Structure 1
Amino acid sequence: MPTELKLPNLGENIHSGNVVRVLVAEGDVITEQQPILEIETDKAAIEVPSPQAGKVVKILVKEGQTIDVGAPVIALEERADGKAAPAQKSAAAAGAGTQSPPAKGEARAVVKESPRKEPEPPKKKAVEEPTPERAAPPAPPAPSVPPLPEDGKGPLVAAAPSVRRFAREIGVDIAQVKGTGPSGRISIDDVKNAARSRVPAQPAAAPSMPSPGLPDFTRWGEVHREPFTSIRRATARQMAAAWSTIPQVTQFDKADITELEEMRQRYAEKAQKAGGKLTVTAILVKVVASALRVFPKFNASLDMEKGEIVYK
């Protein structure tokens, strides 16, 4: 019986790929580890080898198709001298033999446990009887509602006059602020936190703005269209996200690196012996990393959902 070869794991966080080319044809006799497909993912294009030798009976995918990891790709008929098929049958038979006894045991367990589920009527009586007695307890939560002051203008809130004035100035309803002080007393920090919790809702929707449509290019001549590849789609997605979330600022400056280049050439041979390569880029990365420690705001990120600045 033909064996279906499935798409193996292609790497971390890769769940599917596009079939670029099918490298074998029906009727071909292939060897173990021979490439059978070329798959393109969001990260790279790779060749998928066959885990075993045999004859290709049927190809289950086609070029341009998107398939998930674990999906069958080809049906392979093992050679006459192959030993994998009998092993699979014996394993299946052994599995069937080992599974049959537990099935009986489980059936017996169900029969024994079934009578224990009968004493349910007493539970219903227990629920029905206390119902009138337990109807009273829900009343106590009522005191959780803040009492009204004598003038009846609103709920009594534990907050100093200065805190109330600050809440009015920034447009925060003091009655909706949860106090963290003694006995629920509201502080200025509580009012600030309540104000911050309302801010992220509006700017968070900015990155989801729809992109404007393209004009009709056929008005100026013939056009040719082709679908995105996985790598091109991932690149476009990340560039769009970077453009909308990272400030596009460029700083130009001049620096005299004469002494830096002399130092680089002096230690280049030593770095090469250690298995590395001392380049200007490597030095600049070190310089930038050191500068970001001194000026962390340049490396900060904005968490629009929580209204916070993340320093790293």
Structure 2
Amino acid sequence: FLYFIGMATADNMMNRAGEAFRSNDFTTAEALYSAVIGMQPNNAKAFSNRSAVRMKLGEFASALKDAESCTRVDPGFAKGWGRHGAALQAMKHYDAARNAYQKALQLEPTNGSYKEALDELSKLVADGKGIATDDGREEYYFRRSVDSGVAAMKEGRYDEACRLFTKAMNQTSAAKAELHILLANRSAAHLKANRTLEAMDDAREAIQICPSYARGHCRLAAAALERQDMQTARSAIDRALEVDPDASVARELSKNISLRETERARAAENEASAAQSTRENVAKAVASSTKLDDAGPVSRETASTAGPPPGSRHTVSYAYCRVCSEYGHTARDCPLRKK
């Protein structure tokens, strides 16, 4: 009894899901088909229909999984193979999609839509379009990551560019031949994001893989220049020009490094000149002080004939008293002596 209630409920949900699909309410349709699959895991039609819903939602990978589940449950269900082919075609896996449509057409030879899709896919594969093999599939995703990374760089999204270049590098078989290029690209992204140490590390790894890669040496020079590491910058750019004398990027960077070296040399020269001037001024001041000390105090005899010093309160008499060391009277007339 409970089994028949479950069947009736599943059928009801299938009908409601179909109505939602026809009304373009794909989210509701997906939820209802998922509920049916939860109740009946071997319902090939539910898997097939949910695959169609997910295609409408643009979830091609999920649609492919549903189609695979459908054909696994019922290998003789032509529509399941049609769903399989549609999902693969949307993902540009044209060769695999063609194989799926061939199976669908074998099971349902009168279906014109399968025949049209098969003809279209055969032409695409013959023209070398899309992803025809598993190796080609990996190459496609690798190239898409690289192109997206380059686009992110142009748009100023440097962190996203680093992520995409890293993703491309992780696709080892496809990335192996271009790993040094990817490292140089990520070095440039790190530098734009002000991560100079990471930029230098990537550049060094790139030129370790391919020592004759001029752009890798340029990346190292640019990062070193930003860190004021002039020795590394000069060494790297000289190496870049050595392996590729016609590299315009290297020549331009070499000019910038030379300009920075000239500025630093001039600044060092000015600093040394200022330090020398300071030392000379100090030496002159010390010498002048020494001369004053060597002159010694004025003797009383000299003072008695030379007159009072400037500012003295005695302005009439130039006599000097040896008793009180004052001007204006002699020792005989000194008030202290009299007192």
Higher share in helix? 2
TM-score range, shorter chain: under 0.3
Larger Rg: 2
**TM-score normalised by structure 2 residue count:** 0.15
Higher share in strand? 1
**TM-score normalised by structure 1 residue count:** 0.16
Q: Which has the higher contact order (CA 8 A, sep 6+)?
A: 1
